[in-house]
Chains A and B, each alone.
Chain A
């Protein structure tokens, strides 16, 4: 399956795109996805230990399962307000 990961702010700048597509063999966890992102988009690697990942618009722990069709987003430390 293909997992789409939306990028924002510095993550978008570092990767040079708004969405990263990761091709995976089978269901995986958010933690697996974080590791895959680091290897497939090396520009993001320095940022990844500091980002939270969201699945379907909710913050997810590294143990959360990612299924086909889920929307994943990479959320660097926020600065609204």
Chain B
């Protein structure tokens, strides 16, 4: 199951969607908006995405994870638009018969999501600067 949404992500709902009598483990990951990055203060984050492709890539992550690990259920959700401090921009919930699969799959999903899913965050810094985050790019002049 995958979902892009402009609304807040709800961890309880996410857990409920993967919890099952077939599973002995549920792993939940939330990525949340952090206030300080290397001492610099964030006011808020805005996320934008290439929605059609982001949905396809998220689906590909779910399919690949389900082939590589023995999973009972898998949910990947990403929020777009503004994600205020402390709130979740991404939710991954994975259940499996045994915990190792759920831990490993959740970690792989997040690592791969951060490389391949066409979603971008825009930092709104407390010092007034606004910038798109593009890992690996030389800083703009």
Chain A positions within 8 Å of B, measured between CB atoms, are 6, 8-10, 13, 47, 50, 54, 57-59, 73, 75-81
Which of B12-20, B64-72, B132-140 is the contact stretch?
B132-140
Query: Could you say which of B53, B56, B90, B134 contacts A81, with CB atoms under 8 Å apart?
Result: B90
Given known contacts A50-B136, A57-B56, A58-B56, A80 and B78 CB-to-CB distance under 8 angstroms = yes
24 A–B contacts, CB within 8 A, in A order: A9-B48, A9-B132, A10-B132, A13-B132, A50-B137, A54-B50, A58-B56, A73-B50, A73-B53, A75-B53, A76-B132, A77-B136, A78-B117, A78-B119, A78-B135, A79-B121, A79-B134, A80-B49, A80-B54, A80-B90, A80-B114, A80-B119, A81-B90, A81-B119
Tell me the B residues contacting A by CB distance below 8 Å. Answer: 31, 47-50, 52-54, 56, 78, 89-90, 110, 113-122, 132-137, 140
B78 / chain A contacts, CB cutoff of 8 Å = 80-81
How far, in Å, is A69 (CB) from chain B's closest CB?
Answer: 15
The answer to whether B89 touches A81, judged by C-beta atoms less than 8 angstroms apart, is yes
Contact between chains at A9 and B122 (CB < 8 Å): yes
Taking CB atoms, residues of chain B closer than 8 Å to A59 are 116
Query: Is B132's CB under 8 angstroms from A78's CB?
Result: no
* Assembly CA distance A8 to B122 (angstroms): 12
Identify which of A9, A54, A73 gathers the most chain B CB atoms within 10 Å of its CB: A9
Whether the pair B113, A81 counts as a contact (CB closer than 8 A) is yes
- Indicate if the CB atoms of A9 and B113 lie closer than 8 Å: no
Q: Which residue of A lies closest to B52 (CB)?
A: A57
CA distance A59 to B110 in the complex (A): 19
| A9-B114 contact, Cβ under 8 Å, with A79-B121, A80-B90 | no
Residue contact B136 to A73, C-beta cutoff 8 Å: no
Determine if A79 and B133 form an interchain contact, defined as CB atoms under 8 angstroms apart. Answer: yes
